[in-house]
Amino acid sequence: MRVLSGIQPSGKLHLGNYLGAIRQHIELQHEHPNDALYFIANYHSLTTVRDPELLRQLTRDVALDYLALGLDPTKAMLFRQSDIPEVTELAWILATVTGKGLLERAHSYKDKIARGIAPSMGLMSYPLLMAADILIYRSNLVPVGRDQVQHIEMTQDMAGYFNNTYKCDILVRPEPRLNNAHVVPGIDGQKMSKSYGNTIDLFDAPKPTRKRIMSIKTDSTSVEDPKNPESCNVFALLRLLASKDEITEWEQRYRAGGMGYGDAKKRVAELYEETFGQARDRREKLASDPDSVEDILVEGAKRARTIAREVMHDVRNACGLVIAPELHP
């Protein structure tokens, strides 16, 4: 059972990334040792990041964050998307069997256009590259949030288009593994997102992180009055970070009154430090040894590319593509 996921290096990773994806990725490496692949999607980031040095730095940052948070390179493959050139080759082949209408129906494409992002061909063909990312490793499970299920369904369609066109079963149909985490609110109450500027970054220093948490938007209910935990952004974060017993205790305090939102915010800041403080220290040590981090990425890419080459060999044969063996060892 092969598990695959990727994350874009388009900005600093934040609490929403961790609770929505990274935590699940770390858990899955233990469930599927040596069959978990996690790539840093730097090709995808080219639709928004146009500063080459910034992209290189953000790519390194993602690697550091994953390793600091517990990714074990002896159990999972961590690598850069751009180290697997077969991915873009497969994306083109998928483009030749996929109708334009399927791409135009992508929710993410329509959402980005609605937000004023220029409709580049890269943005429109994003699902092709994402499908290639998944299919090139014959992935069985792809852990995603509900907002990404359509991309997996499109990948399933593309695998079917290819297999039907060339009368084969080379490309494996992947299935989504849904993440059950609640939507993580940002400091303004909207979904936490880099594009909204409302994030709590994973590895900022403690003081600015605490200041950010203390600025979370709340209503004007007085300290004495009861409060509704279900509509409170601070409680939503408590629910994701605290133990079950502590969550129950905070819920009772909310409903009883006599507690200010500041008390809950302070506890979120404490839980945040308890969760990420040691990982921050590990990250600093990793950052001081960039060669070791690079070695991990290279070794992960070598292992992943072995799979990708096997798949592309079968894909080329099915299509009738002829290549010179001496050019493709």
To the query of whether residue 194 is one of the catalytic residues in this protein, the response is: yes
For 175, phi and psi rounded to 5 degrees?
Answer: -125, 145
With DSSP H G I counted as helix, E B as strand and the rest as coil, what are the percentages for the chain, rounded to 5?
A: 60, 10, 35
- Please check whether residue 265 is in contact with residue 214, taking contact to mean a CB–CB distance below 8 angstroms: yes
In the block, which residue shows the tokens 């506890």? 267
Q: How far apart are CA 150 and CA 146, in angstroms?
A: 8
Please, which residues have CB within 8 angstroms of residue 38's CB and are 6 or more apart in sequence?
Answer: 4, 5, 6, 7, 25, 66, 71, 76, 77, 78, 79
To the query of whether residue 110 is one of the catalytic residues in this protein, the response is: no
To the query of whether residue 302 is one of the catalytic residues in this protein, the response is: no
Q: How far apart are CA 279 and CA 116, in angstroms?
A: 37
Active-site position among 75, 191, 217, 266: 191
Token code pair at residue 290: 């960039």
Active-site position among 12, 75, 100, 194: 194
Nearest Cα to 186, choosing from 174, 173, 195?
195
Active-site position among 12, 100, 110, 112: 112
Q: How far apart are CA 196 and CA 127, in angstroms?
A: 23
Please, which residues have CB within 8 angstroms of residue 29's CB and are 6 or more apart in sequence?
Answer: 36, 71, 72, 75, 76
Q: How far apart are CA 222 and CA 33, in angstroms?
A: 51
What residues are labeled active site?
A: 112, 191, 194
